[in-house]
Homo-oligomer: A and B are copies of this chain.
Amino acid sequence: MTTTPRTRLSPEQRREQLLDLGVRLLAHRSLDELSIDLLAEEAGISRGLLYHYFGSKQAFHEAVVRHAADDLIAQTTPPTDGEPLERLLTSVRAYVDYVVANHEGYVSLVKAAAGGNESLRAIYEEARAALNSRIFREDAVADSGEGEIVPDTPATRLVVRGWSAMTEELVLAWIDDPGGVTRDQLLAIIAGSLRAVVEAIPD
Contact = CB atoms under 8 A, between A and B. Distances in A.
Interface of A: 110-112, 114-116, 154-155, 157-159, 161-170, 173-174, 177, 179-181, 184-185, 188-189, 192-193, 196-197, 199-202
B162 A166 contact: yes
Main DSSP-derived SS at the A contact region: helix
Nearest to A187: B202
Given A164-B169, A193-B193, A193-B197, 7 more contacts: A110-B114, A115-B116, A158-B181, A159-B189, A162-B169, A165-B169, A188-B201
A200 B114 CA distance: 29
A178 to B, nearest CB: 8
Closest 8 CB pairs of A and B: A115-B115, A154-B179, A114-B114, A196-B196, A192-B200, A165-B169, A166-B166, A162-B170
Copies in the complex: 2
Contacts of A180: 154-155
30 contacts: A110-B114, A111-B114, A111-B116, A112-B115, A114-B114, A115-B115, A154-B180, A155-B185, A158-B177, A158-B179, A161-B169, A161-B173, A162-B166, A162-B170, A162-B173, A164-B169, A165-B165, A165-B166, A165-B169, A166-B169, A166-B197, A185-B201, A188-B201, A189-B202, A192-B200, A193-B193, A193-B197, A193-B200, A196-B199, A196-B200
A188 B202 contact: yes
A201 B179 contact: no
Contacts of A192: 200
Nearest to A159: B189
Contact of A200 (B111, B159, B184, B189): B189
